[in-house]
Amino acid sequence: MRWLFGLLLITPLIVAPPPRRDAAQAQQAQETHQQPQQGQNGQQEEIQKPVGEQEPEKQRYMFTYNKYLEEVVKILESDPKFNEKIKNMKEEDIKAGAIADHIDDLDEGVFNQLTLVKAQEIERLRNQIEEQIKADGHANNIKLPDHLDVQNWEKFGKEDLRKLIQKTVADMNAEDERRRDEFKEYEMKKKAEEDHKLAQMSEDERKRAVAEDEARDARHNDHEKLKHPGSRDQLEEVWEDGDHMDKDSFDPKTFFRLHDINGDGYWNTEELEALFQIELDKMYNETNPDDDPREKFEEMNRMREHVMTQMDKNQDRLVSMDEFMQDNEAQTPEKDPGWDDLGKNHVYTDEELKKFEDEYAQQQGWGEGAYKTSTAPVTANMHQQQQQQQQQQQQDHQQPVQAEVHYNQGQAPAQPVQQQPQAPGQQQIHELPKDPSYGI
């Protein structure tokens, strides 16, 4: 059930409450037979909120069956007998959907609630299907839902829970993969447009532009050395600078409880990402035009995925206290290898970029030499030709294609439509088919 609760990460995100500082400190005092810190007035000192209380940048997972998933989890969570049965169940078994085998002994009232939310989900699906048929004019595109048992519409059963868990796991993995692919395309598009822009410049202009780009990168990289996400040194930095605790008093168990915001005994995705804000703030400043906010979000995902790979041994998308305490990197001080950010790690290969640039140039109507640079100085006449080429491109994209002229065999072809004379050196620009993947 613990892992199933973790699936609630896909529901609409809200600002999390501050870490459970009082509970963590009380537990630490109990384990070390010490009293909580007292101020001069005899009252427990109020400590500033740590880095964990930050509004999420964007919603990560949003599926059509979110509400159904949330309601099912809430109902199961409310049944004490069910929770007791699965308390010692292995996380990988829960992830595989084996948790469904334990719902047979639920109270009738719990089954009735589950059946009710299933009926509501079926009604939502029925309305969705009707709208799709109306929009398409046929039912050829209708697919049976795979997050519930379509063989038993009248009652919620173990297959409903099994399918719901397996579907959610698959969709979350697919969403992460889609995010990485979209970011790669975003970076390649930026590079293609930059290369094309440089190709249109004279040698002197290109040198100045390259120098400006290098200066921008230097400003972005001029920051404090990054600590390795999930390392002991990085966590101690959060303890000291984010949580405002004494560095020498770092206690791993207390730190874990402090950042277990919802108190379920696990670090979920949002709780993990809150630990990286100090490192991210070293690299990115929202008011700095040199910094790309989309790259910041992807950097946070890289850090989270790295720590999950490092600590999450059973791959349940949660980090337990035991996994945290047994992780060598998190428990070994002064062994931080540092961290290379996206600027030092291209998300695409040279081959991928070459293929993308060729396709992108064709879609934009740039021609075969879109990225070729010339060492010859650009004259006023060449500038004029480039402007005329750009104007011609705009006209070609705006004007409709003229009808094809037909003539009978043996008849002389009709005279072609008189074209505007081209400037010397100007190439004919042809209309290119639009690519639906880019909408261009």
Q: What percent of the chain has pLDDT over 90?
A: 45
Q: Do the Cβ atoms of 165 and 103 come closer than 8 Å?
A: no
SS3 string of 286-315? Answer: CCCCCCCHHHHHHHHHHHHHHHHHHHCCCC
- In which residue are the tokens 């009652």 written? 155
Q: How far is CA 43 from the centre of its chain?
A: 44
pLDDT of residue 433: 45
Per-residue pLDDT at 85 exceeds 80: no
Residue 420 has pLDDT above 70, yes or no: no
206-260 pLDDT, tens per residue? 999 999 999 998 888 888 999 999 999 999 999 999 999 998 999 999 999 999 9
> Is residue 375 over pLDDT 90?
no
Instruction: Give me the pLDDT at residue 246, please.
Output: 93
Task: Assign 375 to helix, strand or coil.
Answer: coil
Indicate the range of 115-124, 181-190, 282-291, 390-399 predicted with least confidence: 390-399
Mean pLDDT of 199-204: 93
Query: Are 48 and 18 within 8 A, CB to CB?
Result: no
Instruction: Let me know: does 168 contact 10? Beta carbons within 8 Å.
Output: yes
What is the SS3 assignment for 266?
strand
Residue 27: its pLDDT value, please? 52
Q: What is the pLDDT at residue 58?
A: 47
The confidence score (pLDDT) of residue 10 equals 36
Cα gap 152→33, rounded to integer Å: 57
pLDDT band at residue 187 using 50, 70 and 90 as cut-offs: very high
Q: How far apart are CA 70 and CA 333, in angstroms?
A: 40
Nearest to 6 by CA among 256, 268, 257: 268
Average pLDDT over residues 348-364: 95
301 closest CA partner among 188, 175, 186? 175
Report whether pLDDT(335) > 90: no
Q: What is the pLDDT of residue 429?
A: 37
Classify the C-alpha dihedral 255-258-260-265 as positive or negative: positive
At residue 101, the pLDDT reads 75
Q: If pLDDT is split at 50, 70 and 90, which confidence band does 394 have?
A: low
pLDDT higher than threshold 70 for residue 145 = yes
- 170-193 mean pLDDT: 93
pLDDT above 70 covers a percentage of the chain that reads 68
Q: What mean pLDDT value characterizes the chain?
A: 77
Please say if the pLDDT value at position 124 is more than 80.
Answer: yes
Q: What is the pLDDT of residue 88?
A: 65
Say if CB 283 and CB 220 are below 8 A apart: yes
**Model-level pTM?**
0.67
Distance CA 270, CA 60 (A): 10
At 393 the pLDDT is: 56
What would you report as the CA-atom Rg of the chain, rounded to the nearest whole angstrom?
30
Three-state SS at 92: helix
